[in-house]
Structure 1
Amino acid sequence: MNSYQHIDQFAFTASSIASLCQATCIRSTSSLIVDVQIDSRLCSSGSLFFALKGEHTDGFTYIKAVSEKGAAAVVVPSEHAQDAMHLCDCAILVSDDVLASLHALSRSYLSLFPQLTTVGVTGSCGKSTTKEAIACIAGQLGPTAKTPGNLNSEYGLPLSTFSLEKQSRYGIFEMGIDHVGEMDRMVSILKPTLGLLTNIGISHLEKLGSQEIIAQEKAKIFHPDLEAGFVSRSCKHLPRIEKQASRTLYRYDADAVQAVDMGLEGWLVTYGGETFQIRAVGKHLLEDVVGAITVGAYLGASPREIARSLEGFTPMPGRSSVHRSDITIIDDSYNASLDSTRSIISYVSNLRWGGEKKVVLGPMKELGTQSQAAHRAVANLLARSTFARAYLFGSEMEEAASQLRRLGYADKVLFTENFEELEHSVEKQSNRGDLFLLKASRSVGMERMIPSLTEYAARRPLRYA
């Protein structure tokens, strides 16, 4: 069972939940449903498993296994109804569209909370930090549920809604998209009371085609029934977004608060006469927090409540997380867009540091035709930076390596497509007192380097007093 899910509070059985899924129950049992799953590996006793068909796997092939794990019920395509009767012993629901049934269940579940105020957060980057900060503030006002981790797609959003409890007053949910039409489907599920758009970049450009389309699709979060919308003042295509929105949007930016940059300690923020510290490294994360403050103030939180909720606020792991030991590591490896990569490189480059600063970069994925230009742009920025060495990993980064060599920085650059070679080279050239920045798209798993790099550096001599 997922600890964040609370669907068990309503004591659903397969027969009682069928209408909420817009599905037909062809075999019922008395088993109560305790959680909802789309990954067979996460199923356990009491699970309701939606057998979705994806690009690479078909959930129907796992229904026997989930039944043997004690699942309460499975939702399968209508054409496989008879096969399902032979393959599993649990309750069976059939649907012409399994994903649509998952969406229907989520809508039905949300309708059980008429007192709920929901906030939808979208944007090319910064969604998770903004969501977490809003949830901290809303938590001062009443019981609050939020997207666990980054379950923010048309698959993840429905699962996130099951985090709501009977007493929940606020629900803060990420709404991420990577293809046209996805925001329409998510708005049809959630229809947030408030919507916030952090920024428009070139993330997922490969599927979405252009920044204009990205802006158009993400702006759909500002649906006709929206109570209020919020957008970063620095957001690209702002006029287009505001024209498309159903109402006037509240703009926000980092200058809305007084903030003292404390380097790797984060920011000392003063808002409404209240001062508090957030442990978020970089100007981009400060702006995400200011977006959250703007929403919190709209919800009625006082400056004192906002300060109390955000004192010591730390973003989720991989969002400029600071690891301190014999070396210092800034782990910004959760994801990488051109804008976020530029932002953190510029910030760390300008950071005062007694030892050497080094950067380990993996590829920025799903950039389509803009990939080579984006990786060259990163190289141009590195060439003007204060990093002593750059370690570049992955085939897309070859363009950046070539550009750096053309700019005369060949002796400061290592490029490889072999992760073990990357690890060995970084470890070999690390010294106590170094500052490392790790940045890459999520699929790279760059955080794998942290334990071995930390351990190796501890055995190295101290070069900097």
Structure 2
Amino acid sequence: MRMRVGEIVAACGGKLLCGDPNTIITSVSTDSRKIQFGTLFVPIVGEKTDAHSFISATFAAGAAATLTQEHDGMNDTHAWIRVQNTEQALQRIAAVYRKQFHIPFVGITGSVGKTTTKEMVALALSGSLNVMKTEGNFNSQIGLPLTMFNVADRHQAAVVEMGMSNFGEMSRLAQVAAPDYAVVTNIGISHIEQLKTQQNILSEKLHITDCFHKDSILFLNGDDPLLAGLRGKPGIRISWFGTAPWCDFRAENIRSAESSTQFTFLMPGASYEVTLPVLGLHNVTNALAGLAVAKTLGVPMEKAIAKLTEYRPLAMRQQIHHINGITVIDDSYNASPDAIKSSVNVLCEFHTGKRIAVLADMLELGDFSRQAHFDVGVYAARTGVDLILTVGERAREIAEGAHSVNPGFACYSCGDNTEAIAKLKELLTGGDVVLVKGSRGMRTDQIVKSLL
């Protein structure tokens, strides 16, 4: 990036307390440990830490300027910019920076699968375009603005993940990213503790279209019941992907091998055979989103399909490891009911030994928590899991759900990861396949690390 301090002051409506307005800013950071020469430091006031205390250290490390919401006067050679709120100022600066680029921006949101879909959309587009994409999970009120500053003149398209957990957040993100196109993967019950109903979740997700223009297109998963209810909705151009026969971009003849999935991809006027190097129907849906966007943005379909063969799961997202005769499916990054069901489907595609599901608490489900955990247990028992090991108090309801299907179903409930690790080591034998999944706060990656 490249902006002058004076341009940044104007963008955020701030006041330059001191320093040269012609100073060039070449990067923006909210992390005092990641400062380069020419960085603008944005100190965020968090629940535990007020980053204003790190301003001096960032200047010593090479920062050229800082925002502040806690100083009204300053005498320094560095640029200090007074704002009312540093987080909001960051968003405003990012929104102004984004407007410098006249390339297609694609926003990705949904209750489950945002990151994987973002990766597949970016891969498909990279068949013929230089693509900037969100790195990691920088999809929040702070992460998304920081992502904007990674866009450069060399890029021909941008794919940005947009996450929200409360009212008003998606609208603010839409003002920052101003996506020309948007993908909604599904509407589940993640964050329903704050948003109360799935209809509220749907309404909030659709704010991703707040900055749409006349040529914008919303890509929706036709297999999601709530999204499918938007068929015929006036005012927005919608392109559908999924397995339903009425979808514009759809998959048929889906079949899986040991570590890959094949399907026939149909779109208006053509069909193609596609191979993905991962398992799971949900990954077919994610790939369909990528192919739909690629087709719309003019990427040759053969090149987009070829790029999807390069997809590799990100860390802790259905990564498959083979160790000492045991297969470990590491899906420990996070969990929701729909995500667990998708992972259980992947687990049940293995037939070498016992299929063991290690399932920890799902958080932020509010009044839906008990029923959601119970339903996951019912699903796992009916789908073909041989043994369930639960971790945490909430997850005990998963065992209850499994026992409602079969009172003799093999379930073990553990209080924490340490107990779960010990129990697993008792149970595991050669050929077994273990799925590990739970909400991020449950740190189920500790279980995976122990097994590996």
> Normalised by the size of structure 2, how large is the TM-score?
0.90
1:142: Cα distance to partner? Answer: 2.0
Structure 2 equivalent of residue 49 of structure 1 = 41
RMSD, aligned CA: 2.4
Q: CA separation of 1:33/1:435 partners in 2, compared to 1, >3 Å: closer, same or farther?
A: same
**8 Å Cα contact 2:373/2:398 also seen in 1:** yes
Structure 2 equivalent of residue 174 of structure 1 = 161
Q: Percent identity?
A: 28
1:219: Cα distance to partner? Answer: 1.1
**8 Å Cα contact 1:363/1:397 also seen in 2:** yes
**8 Å Cα contact 2:223/2:243 also seen in 1:** no
Structure 1 equivalent of residue 256 of structure 2 = 262
1:412: Cα distance to partner? Answer: 2.1
In structure 2, what residue type is equivalent to 1:304? Answer: E
Larger mean CA deviation between 262-271 and 135-144 belongs to 262-271
Instruction: Show the 5 A alignment for 1:154-303.
Output: 154-223=141-210, 224-225=212-213, 227-238=216-227, 241=230, 246-254=235-243, 256-271=250-265, 272-303=270-301
Per the alignment, in what secondary structure is the counterpart of residue 127 of structure 2? helix
Large movers: runs of 4+ above 6 Å: none
Per the alignment, in what secondary structure is the counterpart of residue 396 of structure 1? coil
Find out whether 1:63 has 2:50 as its counterpart. Answer: no
Structure 1 equivalent of residue 68 of structure 2 = 76
Which of the residues 371, 380, 385 maps onto 1:382?
380
**8 Å Cα contact 2:166/2:195 also seen in 1:** yes
1:142-196: CA deviation from partner (whole Å, max 9, x where unpaired): 2110111111112111111112111211011111110000111111112211111
Aligned counterparts of 1:358 and 1:119: Cα–Cα separation in 2: 38
Structure 2 equivalent of residue 441 of structure 1 = 439
Which of the residues 9, 17, 20 maps onto 2:11?
20
Structure 1 equivalent of residue 247 of structure 2 = none
Aligned counterparts of 1:40 and 1:131: Cα–Cα separation in 2: 28
1:374: Cα distance to partner? Answer: 0.3
Per the alignment, in what secondary structure is the counterpart of residue 179 of structure 1? coil
Find out whether 1:99 has 2:59 as its counterpart. Answer: no
Which of the residues 96, 101, 118 maps onto 1:108?
96
Aligned counterparts of 1:342 and 1:369: Cα–Cα separation in 2: 20
**8 Å Cα contact 1:280/1:286 also seen in 2:** no
Q: CA separation of 1:307/1:438 partners in 2, compared to 1, >3 Å: closer, same or farther?
A: same
**8 Å Cα contact 2:417/2:444 also seen in 1:** no
**8 Å Cα contact 1:44/1:69 also seen in 2:** yes
Per the alignment, in what secondary structure is the counterpart of residue 384 of structure 1? helix
Aligned counterparts of 1:40 and 1:259: Cα–Cα separation in 2: 51
Aligned counterparts of 1:242 and 1:191: Cα–Cα separation in 2: 24
Instruction: Show the 5 A alignment for 1:311-390.
Output: 311-326=309-324, 327-349=326-348, 351-390=349-388
Q: CA separation of 1:240/1:388 partners in 2, compared to 1, >3 Å: closer, same or farther?
A: closer
Which of the residues 118, 131, 135 maps onto 1:131?
118
Q: For structure 1, which runs of at least 5 residues remain unmatched after alignment?
A: 1-6, 455-465
Per the alignment, in what secondary structure is the counterpart of residue 438 of structure 1? strand
In structure 2, what residue type is equivalent to 1:196? Answer: V
Larger mean CA deviation between 221-230 and 369-378 belongs to 221-230
> Normalised by the size of structure 1, how large is the TM-score?
0.87
Aligned counterparts of 1:398 and 1:152: Cα–Cα separation in 2: 32
**8 Å Cα contact 1:216/1:241 also seen in 2:** no
Q: For structure 2, which runs of at least 5 residues remain unmatched after alignment?
A: 245-249
How many residue pairs align between the two structures? Answer: 439
1:396-422: CA deviation from partner (whole Å, max 9, x where unpaired): 212223444566657722212222111
In structure 2, what residue type is equivalent to 1:247? Answer: I
Instruction: Show the 5 A alignment for 1:386-401.
Output: 386-401=384-399
Query: Which is richer in helix?
Result: 1
